[in-house]
Amino acid sequence: MSTPIEATAILQRRRSSVEDTRSSGLSPEPRELSYAQAIQEAMAIAMERDERVFLMGEDIGVYGGAFQVTGDLVHRFGADRVMDTPISELGSAGVAIGAALTGLRPIFEFQFSDFSALAMEQIVNQAAKLRFMLGGAVSVPLVMRFPSGSGTGAAAQHSQSLEAWFAHVPGLKVVQPATPHDAKGCLLAAIADPDPVMIFEHKLLYKMKGEVPEGHYTVPLGKARLCRPGRDVTIVATSIMVHRSLAAAEELSREGIEAEVIDLRSLRPLDRDTLTQSVKRTHRLVCVYEGVKTLGIGAELSASIAESDAFDYLDAPILRLGGAECPIPYNPELEKAAVPQTPTIIAAVRDLIGGRL
């Protein structure tokens, strides 16, 4: 029968992966992984290092996850640590919270971030508040992963960017890594964090490749990243919009406009400092994010600048480029038009610099 062969293969794979992790410090050779692989590697490293870490989610076992993020992990770590849940978001989220409350470190995958709406009660009323309500007697070291965003033709109920909802809740931490490097580093930081961390992963990023260091490392939660310096305007972006903003900056640079691009990385805690410093240098701010524009993260960023020391340095109105005021449509052209695209960013910055806004 096939079982023994498979078992050997799994054993071998496990051994080699252990070596991978160990040799991390010694081999600085650059190595590319996809965003999904980087997350998978982070989960594997965490599970190797720490028995308390386990995964929960719908179809994350043999199916490998709807976006193949968990992939083969079930073969490496077994179904006890890569647990398929029934389609019971509210309940299973609560189960993860209970486990986290009492010594385990669950990583919970929502199949699509949209389904988190079903689990909102447990996340917002329980996970976020338990520590506070109990006067610090407990903590909830829970990690939740949310495949998010539009661009896949999955329409209104499978394409949302809901991160701002969660970022509005004290007690939760909310991060949006934009690169494979940060996806791994943020996840490992989230696992080490004693509080609930919500990680929003854009579905279109999963296949994106980038350099990912081997072994264990963390990216601090709550620290923005300056991806591109520039003197004329600060573009602060989240998730996939970082890449669109960088592409826009590249194009604008040909016209003599030097945009500074900041990857916010984390919505809560929010790195107001990096943003304020940047705006003081460039005197202009454009916020780019996929979530619906009104009452979204851009509102918070704009307000932060308006309240800060950087206010007196503004030489143009602050601009927000966010999702249109509608659900994500199915038709591909409409879908594209519903969220900022590279040309949208270019046009907006041109208008801003050209003094048309």
Active site residues: 89, 158
Size of the site for ligand TPP (CB under 6 A): 6
Write the binding mask 18 to 57 for ligand TPP: x where contact by CB under 6 A, - elsewhere: ----------------------------------------
89 interacts with ligand TPP by CB under 6 A = yes
Letter for the amino acid at 260?
E
Contacting residue, 40, 111, 113, 116, with ligand TPP by CB under 6 A: 111
CB atoms within 10 A of CB 103: 8
Angstrom distance (rounded) from CA 156 to CA 326 = 9
84 binds, among ligand TPP, another protein, none (CB under 5 to 8 A by kind): another protein
Span 186-225, contacts to ligand TPP by CB under 6 A: none
Scanning 70-78, 110-118, 215-223, 323-331 for contacts with ligand TPP by CB under 6 A, the matching segment is: 110-118
78 binds, among ligand TPP, another protein, none (CB under 5 to 8 A by kind): none
Q: How far is the CB of 66 from another protein (least distance, A)?
A: 8
Q: How far is the CB of 111 from ligand TPP (least distance, A)?
A: 5
Write the binding mask 76 to 105 for another protein: x where contact by CB under 8 A, - elsewhere: --------x-xxxxxx--------------
Q: How far is the CB of 118 from ligand TPP (least distance, A)?
A: 5
295 interacts with ligand TPP by CB under 6 A = no
64 interacts with another protein by CB under 8 A = yes
Q: With beta carbons less than 8 A apart as the criterion, state whether 266 and 176 touch.
A: yes
Scanning 165-173, 179-187, 265-273, 279-287 for contacts with another protein by CB under 8 A, the matching segment is: 279-287
Three-state SS letters, the chain:
CCHHHHHHHHHHHHHHHHHHHHHHHHCCCCCEEEHHHHHHHHHHHHHHHCCCEEEEECCCCCCCCCCCCCCCHHHHHCCCCEEECCCCHHHHHHHHHHHHHCCCEEEEECCCHHHHHHHHHHHHHHHCCHHHHCCCCCCCCCEEEEEECCCCCCCCCCCCCCHHHHHCCCCCEEECCCCHHHHHHHHHHHHHCCCCEEEEEEHHHCCCEEECCCCCCCCCCCCCEEEECCCCEEEEECCHHHHHHHHHHHHHHHCCCCEEEEECCEEECCCHHHHHHHHHHHCCEEEEEEEECCCCHHHHHHHHHHHCHHHHHCCCCCEEEEECCCCCCCCHHHHHHCCCCHHHHHHHHHHHHCCCC
Q: How far is the CB of 8 from another protein (least distance, A)?
A: 20
207 interacts with another protein by CB under 8 A = no
Contacting residue, 118, 120, 247, 357, with ligand TPP by CB under 6 A: 118
CB atoms within 10 A of CB 111: 20
Backbone angles phi, psi at 128, to 5 degrees: -70, -25
Scanning 42-50, 60-68, 181-189, 218-226 for contacts with another protein by CB under 8 A, the matching segment is: 60-68
Contacting residue, 217, 281, 308, 350, with another protein by CB under 8 A: 281
Q: With beta carbons less than 8 A apart as the criterion, state whether 315 and 282 touch.
A: no
Q: How far is the CB of 289 from ligand TPP (least distance, A)?
A: 25
Span 303-332, contacts to another protein by CB under 8 A: 309, 311-316, 324-327, 329-332
115 interacts with ligand TPP by CB under 6 A = yes
Interacting residue ranges for ligand TPP, rule: CB under 6 A? 58, 87, 89, 111, 115, 118
Interacting residue ranges for another protein, rule: CB under 8 A? 58-59, 61-64, 66, 84, 86-91, 114-115, 118, 152-158, 231, 280-281, 283, 309, 311-316, 324-327, 329-335, 337-338, 355-357
